[in-house]
Amino acid sequence: MRTAPKVVVLDYGFGNVRSAVRALERVGADVELTADRRSASEADGLVVPGVGAFEACVEGIEGVRGHEVIGRRLAGGRPVLGICVGMQVMFEDGVEHDRPAKGLGEWPGTVERLAAPVVPHMGWNTVQVPQGSTLFAGVEEERFYFVHSYGVQRWELEDDVAEDGSLRRRPPLVTWSQHGGRFVAAVENGPLSATQFHPEKSGDAGAALLRNWVRSL
């Protein structure tokens, strides 16, 4: 009999963690909410939620040494899923209220205020999903729930190309959405996946996305 995948939701003081825990449980995961580094390191999957300010979330993650756990997991090919600001902090830099801050640096790029006449971007929106997505399998045409004023508007990670012109590894799959201009809505990059929207608040479509991720573990 197959056991449920073990998923840890990183508890570092930021994020609507209870709704994420419940949503993951509903799609078949055995979920633990904890900041314990051993549990977070050994779980089949690690979820990094986030609500609020970029800099404060980075400080919270570093305060429980979550950045070390994330780095070690990714180095070993062990899955991590970032949600909302939990996605934003995976990038190198964030700028909020003209105040620059350093992110965790897993991807190059800067989180900036959305180029839209009305922020925050709050509510349901469609996404443009690349071919081959695992996260969005079966929900490519669905709408997801966003609540944010900042985002990544330029994807800066270059493909890893060998001397003969071939790709050394599969390039990341980047999903986009639009609010004023386009911004990164999700990334699938080997063991590291992330969504700018909240799958735990996105109804059946969000549940399907989380189920896809849990099954991939």
- Over residues 57-102, the pLDDT tens digits come to 999 999 999 999 999 999 999 999 999 999 999 999 999 988 999 9
Domain boundaries, the chain: 6-216
**116 contacts 123 by C-beta, under 8 angstroms:** no
CA distance 84 to 51: 7
* % of the chain surpassing 70 pLDDT: 93
How far the first Cα of the chain sits from its last, in Å, is: 16
Q: Which of 84, 121, 142, 188 is catalytic?
A: 84
Residue type, 158: E
Q: Token pair of 202, please? A: 């996105």
- Residue 126 DSSP class: E
Fold of 6-216: Rossmann fold (3.40.50)
Catalytic: 148? no
Helix locations, 7-121, DSSP H: 17-26, 37-42, 54-63, 66-75, 85-88
State percent of the chain over pLDDT 90: 88
For the cut 90, the answer to whether the pLDDT of residue 199 exceeds it is yes
| Catalytic residue, candidates 67, 148, 179, 198 | 198
Decide if pLDDT at 133 tops 90. yes
pLDDT digits (tens, 9 = 90+) for 163-184: 554 545 678 999 999 999 999 9
Beta strands 181-189 and 173-179: pairing type? antiparallel
198 is known as an active-site residue: yes
161 pLDDT band, cuts 50/70/90, is very low
| Residue 13, pLDDT score | 87
Q: What is the pLDDT of residues 9-41, one digit of tens each?
A: 999 987 668 999 999 999 999 999 999 999 999
Region of 177 (left: φ > 0; alpha: ψ -120 to 50; beta: rest) is beta
Query: How many angstroms separate the CA atoms of 150 and 159, rounded?
Result: 25
Catalytic residue status for 200: yes
In the predicted structure, residue 144 carries a pLDDT above the cut 90: yes
